[in-house]
Chain A
Amino acid sequence: MSFVRNAWYVAGWSSSFGRDLTPLTIMDEDIVVYRTGAGRAVALTDECPHKRLPLSMGRLVGDAVQCGYHGMTFGCDGKCVRIPGQSNLPSSAWVRSYPLHEAHGIVWIWMGEAAKADPALCFDMPQFSDPRWAPHHGDALALESHYLPVADNLCDPAHVSFVHPTTLGNAASEDVPIDCERRGRTVVTSRWIRNAPPVGFFKAFGNFAGNVDRWHYYYMHAPNVAVIDFGSAATEAAIGADERDKGVRLFALHFLTPVSETRTIDHWMHLRNIGLDDESLGDRMNQQFRIAFAEDKAILEAIQAREARPRARRGIKLAIDRGPNYLRRIVNELLAEEVPRDIEAPMQAAG
């Protein structure tokens, strides 16, 4: 399996990077991230082209990175600016510089063709800049899983009844059918559970006296960004599907970054429309998310361990698999766009 390269992936929270050399691995590529004196984030290949030492073992010299072995020094654009002991700088002395985009406290990296790295393609949502919403960073959760089963999970509202019984789901939703549609590169799966007891999360934060109407809308923007719009409103308020702002509403965001074929980092955070000034509320909500996402992690890692072995019989596909089916199709389309055209061209006859 290969990865969709022409997309923005989260390298880390803005707070993760400073005037030091931070190594990370994305799609099996070793990358070093740092900030210039002016504060701009820079990402370079984390390997000196001379003896392959990770540049992150070297040091910053101004805005350039100096290799810790022989002092070869590379600027923000990846070009070598100094080779101690010789005056010529060969054109081959460079490391790759990755396009970055920073917004809302998140550093995004473009793993594909630099010419296509348009910041306008980067995920954004108006609520980030809306005073009626409070964004709150969560964490970077490492999962020992390929990213696609994680993405499957994020177009799959059915699992919450069984995987997250104390926080995000309860038995009331077990048999409620799920709507599913594809909108371009996005898979939308959703359902409403009407007139049921609140789930643990809304018992804790919703202050509801009786039954609630609960919604889950999962927007999986292929290949790597999921927005989970979920919330509850008192059943007696009888809100319509388009009036979700009247309830206690959250967006849980998941930004998936493939580290390797068997490892994924999920940077997660939330936005909420209650308790906007209460930082501790964000932290307490994150405690519930931590419980829930650890439950997902346990399941996805157990599946990954099985996937390493051949399966004895074909898998079964259920009605709830429409969302993941769409996701895999979109990803395959994106991958097909990235295959160099000439791979399938007929072989040239030898001269």
Chain B
Amino acid sequence: MKVVATDREGGLHELSFQEGDTLMQVLTEQDLGVRAECGGCCACATCHVYVAPAWREKLPAQSEDEIAMLDEAFEVEPNSRLSCQILMTRALDGLEVTIAPDWN
């Protein structure tokens, strides 16, 4: 099973995953610039991605914590998600995401 991730330079990466991984874990297996500073507990918003429109409805709903944390992120769009909050399942095989801009 694969995720297709677009990095900040527009490069495409096919990343394999197993059920039970979080999307953040999948994205951080290679260095694509996802900081994931808090390690995946929804405390930092540095694993921010944009989800391709066709996939938005297939993802688990956002928790209050994710909504609140995204509220503190930058360049948030309607298809923004925190990748640590997305648990990968078979239904997400082929998921397309774009890594959100970094900020300093």
Chain A interface (Cβ < 8 Å from any Cβ of B): 313-314, 316-322, 325, 329
Contacts and interface: CB of A to CB of B under 8 A. Distances in A.
A317 B104 CA distance: 13
Interface string B36-75: 0111011111100000000000000000000011000000
B43 A317 contact: yes
A257 B26 CA distance: 46
Contact of A322 (B37, B43, B46, B103): B43
A254 B102 CA distance: 38
The 4 A-B pairs of least Cβ separation, nearest first, read A317-B44, A322-B43, A319-B38, A321-B43
21 contacts: A313-B104, A314-B103, A314-B104, A316-B44, A317-B37, A317-B38, A317-B43, A317-B44, A317-B46, A318-B37, A318-B43, A319-B41, A319-B43, A320-B43, A321-B43, A321-B44, A322-B38, A322-B41, A322-B42, A325-B43, A325-B69
Contacts of B39: 318-319
A112 B35 CA distance: 42
Contacts of B37: 316-318
Contacts of A319: 38-39, 41, 43
Contacts of A317: 37-38, 43-46
Nearest to A178: B41
Contacts of B45: 317
Given A314-B103, A318-B37, A322-B38, 19 more contacts: A314-B104, A316-B44, A317-B37, A317-B38, A317-B45, A317-B46, A318-B43, A318-B44, A319-B41, A319-B43, A320-B43, A321-B43, A321-B44, A322-B41, A322-B42, A322-B43, A325-B43, A325-B68, A325-B69
Contacts of B69: 325
A322 B39 CA distance: 12
Contacts of A320: 43
Contact of B68 (A316, A321, A329): A329
Contacts of B104: 313-314
Contacts of B42: 322
Contacts of B43: 317-322, 325
A329 to B, nearest CB: 6
Which of B38, B39, B103, B104 gathers the greatest number of chain A CB atoms within 10 Å? B38
B36 to A, nearest CB: 10
A316 B45 CA distance: 10
A244 to B, nearest CB: 25
Interface in B11-46: 37-39, 41-46
A319 B44 CA distance: 8
B66 to A, nearest CB: 12
Contacts of B41: 319, 322
B89 to A, nearest CB: 24
Interface in B86-104: 103-104
A320 B68 CA distance: 17
B80 to A, nearest CB: 17
A128 to B, nearest CB: 33
Nearest to B44: A317
A255 B16 CA distance: 51
Contacts of A318: 37-39, 43-44
Nearest to B38: A319
A156 to B, nearest CB: 12
Contacts of A329: 68
A108 B46 CA distance: 41
A220 to B, nearest CB: 16
Contacts of A313: 104
A329 B71 CA distance: 11
* Residue in B37, B43, B44 whose Cβ sees the most chain A Cβ within 10 Å: B43
